[in-house]
Structure formats: structure tokens, C-alpha cells
Chains A and B, each alone.
Chain A
Amino acid sequence: MDAIMLQEKLVERLLCPRVRTARQKEKQYVGFATLPNQVHRKSVKKGFDFTLMVAGESGMGKSTLVNSLFLTDLYKDRKLLNAEERINQTVEIIKHTVDIEEKGVKLKLTIVDTPGFGDAVNNNECWKPITDYIDQQFEQYFRDESGLNRKNIQDNRVHCCLYFIPPFGHGLRPVDVEFMKALHEKVNIIPLIAKADCLTPNEIKKLKDRIREEIDKFGIKVYQFPECDSDEDEEFKQLDKELKECTPFAVIGSNTVVEARGQRVRGRLYPWGIVEVENQSHCDFVKLRNMLIRSHMHDLKDVTCDVHYENYRAQCIQEMTSKLAQDNRMESPIPILPLSTPDAETEKLIKMKDEELKRMQEMLNKMQQQMHDKD
């Protein structure tokens, strides 16, 4: 709000009669430094959207964590399946959309849930419905982007995937590795250690080290925090460093409010003590929330647009042109781009199609000319 007021002040000053003493200064000042504020104002008006996917086995506390992160209750009427029903369950994709507003800023939050993942006895390729869903969203955006009316494109692409690793194991299990490898080039993966209240601080440290090792070993590309600029202040750099060393975050979620140390906080009440979700010495929930919402939400969206979506798009186009070489068909809205390494046959075809296009263009011009002459 201060930025908007500042901008308005500046506009006022520019419009009303100048005071002599300040004339020299204003000669140097152009005023485009207010651009970020203008952008900010427009974005606030337009609102933001963010799509978050949560994946992991049943009972890892995914729903509770989502509710804790966004202080909502998205799963009020959920019914748990019993073991019989689960035997025939396949992995589903369920979307919950909620509009949140805070201090005038609107956020349209979409949570993509994946019930059934990893629950069956045979979990071969249980991540396939998830990769298919992500690809579908990319494809839809690709078509919209290449279409004629681009005013109101809805961005349903998944910006971030929180993957819940069980705290019970000794590191990554085969299903964890396979899932992350199938998805790391399609979406920003943030691995989390779920239900971290069953681990002592030493155990958490050991598990985190182990998981980081295995992520390196298997070549899994999880979401990397962007590097700090060198001109940021020391405190920011220190915080950033701490954040990076803390991954994967060990989180605890809670739907209930308990009384601890004289305050009412979100927490879990045990006979041996109270776990406070927002206490940094208890778990990394605060770090995750800050990272996800307060500092890196925009970066997550950028990486999705610039890296994952572009990869998908490039792949898609390559496939299309190779298909074109086989089918000899033209798809009009998508222009044929020159590929970096085309083979000779494709180039010939591209040349042929170009000439055809030119001829058609000439015919069109002729017809237009004829119509013009008639008038």
C-alpha cells in the first residue's frame, strides 16, 4: 500500500506546478523507477493463482499439512476407504480450489491431491496417472497459447509438487526414487519428511543427510532455491544458506489448536509434551511455509513456465514435426519452426511446405486484388 501511495504522490508532483528549488533535481529524474509499483498494483488487482500438488502414501499427513499451510479446512467431508475398497483402488487425481484473500491480495489456490498413490500391494507405475495429469495441463496450455484468442488463458499447470517421504524408513524407498525420477523434469519437486514428530533431532539429521545423499546418487533434480544476489544483505544470505541446508524439510501438521506456554497455538497434544507446529525448534513447518508462500512462490511459477513448460513444448514440437514427416499433413495454428538438428528429409519437407504457403499467399493476394478491382 505504501508503494501505491508513493506512486500517487509522484504523479501529483509531476502534474502540479513545480517549485523552483527542486527543479534541478527533477530534471535528472525520469520516473520509470516506479514501474515495479505499477506492476505490483496491476497484479494486486488481477490476483494470483497457484497450483500445488501433494503426493505420497495414505496417512502421511498431507491433508493436515495443506490445511495448516493455508489455514483452511479443505477436507471436511472426507471419508476414508477401508482395506477392501482400497484393494481395487487406482490412483485418482482430485482438485480442490479455494480463493483466499489477505490484505487486498487475492490468491486462487488449487490443490491437486493424489489419493491411492503407493497404497496397493503392487504399485508398479502408480505415478503414471500423475505424470499424465501434468502432461495434460501442459498440453492444454500449449494449445491455448497457440490459439487465436489468448486473452483469458487459464493456467492450470502444476507449479509445485510436495512429495511426502515417510519418516519410518532409513532413506528413500524404491517407490520414492521412481516417482521422483518420473516427475523431476515435469514439475518442481519439493521432498518433505512427513510426520516428523516421531523422530528425535539426531534421527532427523541422519535421515536428512541420507536423503540428500540418495537424491544426489540417483540424479534426482529436486527444486533448487535460486542463488542470492551478491548485493543482498548478510542477514538475507544467512537465512538463505540455512534454508538450503535444511532440505528436505521435516514437517508436522495439525488441524487442532492447543494451549502451550500460555498461548493458543496449532499443535499436537501428547501425554509427554506438546508439539508446536510453528515452533522452529520442533519442526521445519515455518521454513516450508515461508519458502513456499512468502518468498519463493513466484520463483516456482517462473521455473515451471521457463523450464518445465518449455521442455514440454520443445519436446511436443519435435514430436509433431517428426510426425509431420511421416504423415505429410499440416497443422495450421502451429508454425513450423526451424529445428536445431533437422535431418535432410525434414528440411526438404519444410522447404516444400514453405513454397506451398508462398503460393497460397500469392493466390490470396490475387483474389484480394480482384475484389478490390471490382469495387
Chain B
Amino acid sequence: IRLFRNTQTCFSRTSCTDLFGYVGIEAVLDQMRRKTMKVGLEFNIMVVGQSGLGKSTLVNTLFKSKVSRKSCTPNCEEKISKTVKLHSVSHVIEEKGMKMKLTVIDTPGFGDQINNENCWEPIVKHINEQYEKYLREELHINRKRRIPDSRVHCCIYFLPATGHRLRPIDVEFMKRVGKIVSIVPVIAKADTLTIEERQEFKERIRQDLAANGIRVYPQKEYDDDPEERILNDRIRESIPFAVVGTDKEHQVNGNKVLGRKTKWGIIEVENVAHCEFANLRDLLIRSHLQDLKDVTHNIHYETYRVRRLNESNMNFSELGLSARPLENGTADTSESESHL
């Protein structure tokens, strides 16, 4: 078992030869597509933020169905819980033959108390527990063909639209959790900010993030090629997205749109001139869903794995498993460090 694994297959430098006829290599894409549709995909998303920031509504709006904790707990009273509890809800949603098992992990109680010290600890613990579960499955002798993936692929962190800067609790949370999972910060209930205020607020947040060394998704270091870098740079220039969520529809110009109706106008959630919900949805679902999963698997999970295996000094009996000892004796720590 090698500690250091390649994140992508590297082709050695061979020259590309031209084909003089159609071979059919590209048909592999079709095969992959069909297989993916048969197998379906799993996606685990965590929402973190103070009570009342619209987390459940946003998740429902993102996936256009009632998938949040609030919709699934009958007679749920909106009381502030005394400790941070994690609450997972899973649904299988289907679109055009493609099945997705979506798990939404909610964190009620985060940041709601007077003293919020260490309120991030249950969250960090949960994320690490999922990695541990996966690791144990992986290290089994008789592994399942498809290891059930409960690792958190994405964590949406809700910032209240104060218009000022990041608060100490935001910095503390994102510093700690940004190291182990992909964080996507969003400005919640952004219909209280005008366009200029929104731009200034975002600029200040980006400054604060850089000043504190917080890396949010998409992280600069993991851009594979220049094309991706350009695309991701555009995204990085506009995070955090200012979002507004709703499940109510109204009539605007003869069309039914998702929106919030106030005395001074209707805020259209999917209108990019009004808020950036559509951008967030495109990022999370339409363009970077697979990338989120890959980053979680190839980078965050690997980091955890290396750390864990180093901790136990390659002593498999400590992990409660019996396996063949390494052929090359002790671990090659230099290689693993270069990976970190």
C-alpha cells in the first residue's frame, strides 16, 4: 500500500499522433455517462450559520424541493437550542434519469449563544468522523465495491449581511474548518444591501479572508490548468455570493418567478441583477459539483488519511484491523510530507 497517491494519472511525455480514421475513443464518455446515471451520485452538503439566516430556505431553493431539516421535522418550533447539534437529512432526488442522494447536514445552535467559544468543535468532530468512517472502510480487506460516502463535500457558511466585515466568530470558524473541508461563504439575506454596499462588503470580506490565511473554495492551489484557473479566478473575484432564498412564487411580467414580495418591489431570486443565487447554484450544482467531490476525496480526505496513518505509525493493529505488513517495512515519511 503506497502512502503517496497520484491525484491524476500522469501521462509521460509522448507525442500525439494523428489518427487517420475514426476509432471511437470518444465513446468512452458515453459509457461513463451511462454508468454514472445507473449508479447515481451522492452529495453531502453542510450548512452552517446563526439561527434565522435562511439556511433551510436556501437549501430548499437550491434543490427545488423540500430537503432541509425544517421541512422534514414535523411541528418544528423555531427555538434556539442550547448546544450545537448536527442534524442530517437525506433524500433521493431525480432529474432526467439522473439520481442523486442528497444529504443536508444542518447545524442548529451554531453561534446563537452568548458565549460561543468552541461552538465549532462539534462540527469539526463530525467532519473528521466521516473521514474516519471512510478510512476504515477503505482499509478493510474485503472492501465494498462502492464505499458509502458520507464525507462532507461542501460546507456553506452563512454570513449575516451587516455590511461591515467578518466577525471574530466567522474568522475562527473558517480558519479551522477551511483546512478540512471546502467552504463556500455566502452573504445571507442579502436583500438588505444595496449594490454598492454589497460590493464594498465583499471587498472587505475578501481582504479579511486573505489577511487571516483562510482558503475558501475554489482554492487557488488546486487549479489544474490555465483554463480552469481563469474560470476559477472569475469565481474567486465574486465570492462570497450575496444570496436571497425563497420558496414562494409571484407573477412578474406574466411569468411565475421565485421571489420575495415587499411593498417596494419584488426581489427575484433567480435574476442575476437582483442577487447572486443563480451564480451559487451554478457553482455548486451545474459546474463544480464533481469538482467539489474530487477535491474532498483527493485533497481533504487524503490529508486526513496521511495524518491518521502517520499518527498510528503504520501500526495496523491499532486501527483494529489485521492486514499484511508493508513489504518495504516502515513508512516512507519523506514522500508523505511532500504530499502535505
Contacts and interface: CB of A to CB of B under 8 A. Distances in A.
Interface of A: 57-60, 80-84, 86-87, 119-124, 126, 166-171, 173-175, 178, 195, 197-201, 268-276, 279, 281-282
B113 A83 contact: no
Contact of A268 (B50, B78, B194): B194
A119 B264 contact: no
Interface string B66-100: 00000000000010100000000000000000000
B261 interface: yes
A86 B168 contact: yes
- The 5 tightest CB contacts between A and B, nearest first, are A59-B162, A273-B265, A273-B264, A169-B52, A198-B192
Contacts of B113: 174
Contacts of A119: 167-168
A122 B117 contact: yes
Contact of B112 (A173, A198, A269): A173
A274 B265 CA distance: 8
Interface of B: 50-54, 78, 80, 112-117, 160-172, 188-189, 191-192, 194-195, 204, 207-208, 211-212, 260-268, 273-274
Nearest to A119: B167
Given A84-B171, A123-B116, A198-B189, 20 more contacts: A57-B162, A59-B161, A80-B164, A80-B165, A82-B208, A83-B212, A122-B116, A123-B114, A124-B114, A168-B189, A169-B52, A170-B51, A170-B80, A174-B114, A178-B114, A200-B260, A269-B194, A272-B191, A272-B265, A274-B264
B267 A272 contact: yes
Interface of A is mostly: loop
A271 B274 contact: yes
Nearest to B272: A271
Nearest to A124: B115
A279 B264 CA distance: 10
18 contacts: A58-B162, A83-B168, A83-B211, A83-B212, A84-B171, A86-B165, A121-B172, A122-B115, A166-B52, A168-B188, A174-B113, A178-B114, A197-B192, A200-B262, A201-B262, A272-B266, A272-B267, A272-B268
Nearest to B82: A174
Nearest to B246: A200
A174 B113 CA distance: 6
Contact of B53 (A82, A168, A272, A273): A168
Contact of A169 (B51, B170, B204, B273): B51
Given A197-B262, A272-B265, A274-B264, A120 B112 contact: no
Contacts of A60: 162
B207 A174 contact: no
A124 B114 CA distance: 6
Nearest to A197: B192
Contacts of B53: 168
A269 to B, nearest CB: 6
A175 B54 CA distance: 20
A190 B207 CA distance: 36
B170 A83 contact: yes
B161 A87 contact: no
A247 B163 CA distance: 26
Contact of B168 (A120, A171, A282): A120
B162 A170 contact: no
A100 to B, nearest CB: 27
A83 B160 contact: no
Contacts of A271: 195, 273-274
B116 A273 contact: no
Contacts of B165: 80-83, 86
A183 B238 CA distance: 42
Contact of A123 (B115, B204, B263): B115
B265 A121 contact: no
Contacts of B52: 166, 168-170
Nearest to A59: B162
Contacts of A276: 264
Given A82-B208, A166-B160, A270 B265 contact: yes
Q: Which of A167, A169, A271, A275 has the most CB of B within 10 A?
A: A271
A120 B114 CA distance: 9
Contact of A59 (B163, B195, B212, B265): B163
Contacts of A274: 264-265
Contacts of B204: 80, 82
Contacts of B260: 200
Contacts of A275: 264
Contacts of B168: 83, 86-87, 119-121
Nearest to B201: A59
